[in-house]
Amino acid sequence: MALHIVLVEPEIPANTGNIARTCAATGAHLHLVHPLGFRTDDATLKRAGLDYWHAVHIEYHNSFAEVQEKYAGSRFFYATTKVDQKFTDFSFQDEDFFVFGKETKGLPPELLAANPDTCMTLPMSDKVRSLNLSNSAAIIIYEALRQLDFPGME
């Protein structure tokens, strides 16, 4: 059993570190798509992930197309602020991939346009543009785990 979080060109090391910690806590696999906005030996990245890095299954990819090719046949869901369909409108399954874009721009518009049926948003007040990336990833991964009845978790 594994869910997957894909970060496409993440820019802020603390967010990636926090997401890595969430992956360690949930058993989700983390996929980082280059270019990254930081070095993977960055102290902020390591501090945010605390001492859980050994518990994170992590893969690095040169492009998102590489992820899609390697995991052809998998289901991909795209987090964005640019749609109305809520993340709670979906029924998630083991081995699903949750794709998040860079903090400043989100996912590329052409990727969203090519996948309208699997784009989802987190409802929020119009007082903010978006939630923090690590918070968004945690909310969505825990919703998927809730639907799957938290397999392998205490």
In a domain? residue 152: no
pLDDT tens-digit series, residues 55-99: 899 999 999 999 999 999 999 999 999 999 999 999 999 999 999
pLDDT tens-digit series, residues 123-144: 998 888 888 999 999 999 999 9
In a domain? residue 126: yes
CA atoms in the 13 A half-sphere facing the CB of 36: 21
In a domain? residue 31: yes
Instruction: Find the DSSP H helices in 29-126.
Output: 43-49, 64-70, 109-114
Answer whether residue 113 shows pLDDT above 70. yes
Q: How confident is the model at residue 152 (pLDDT cuts 50, 70, 90)?
A: confident
Answer whether residue 43 shows pLDDT above 60. yes
Rounded to 10°, the helix 13-26/133-147 angle is 20
In a domain? residue 119: yes
Answer whether residue 16 shows pLDDT above 80. yes
Record the pTM: 0.93
In a domain? residue 94: yes
If you average pLDDT over residues 105-134, what whole number do you get? 93
Which residue spans within the chain are E strands per DSSP?
Answer: 4-8, 29-33, 58-61, 76-79, 97-100, 119-120
Which CATH number goes with the domain that contains 129? 3.40.1280.10
Inter-residue contact 86 to 124 (CB < 8 Å): no
Answer whether residue 47 shows pLDDT above 90. no
In a domain? residue 64: yes
Domain extent, residue 106, equals: 4-147
Q: What is the pLDDT of residue 49?
A: 52
Q: What is the pLDDT of residue 37?
A: 86
- The 8-class DSSP code of residue 120 comes to E
In a domain? residue 72: yes
Which tokens sit at 151?
A: 């397999």
In a domain? residue 154: no
Q: What is the pLDDT of residue 50?
A: 58
Q: What is the pLDDT of residue 38?
A: 77
Count of structural domains, the chain: 1
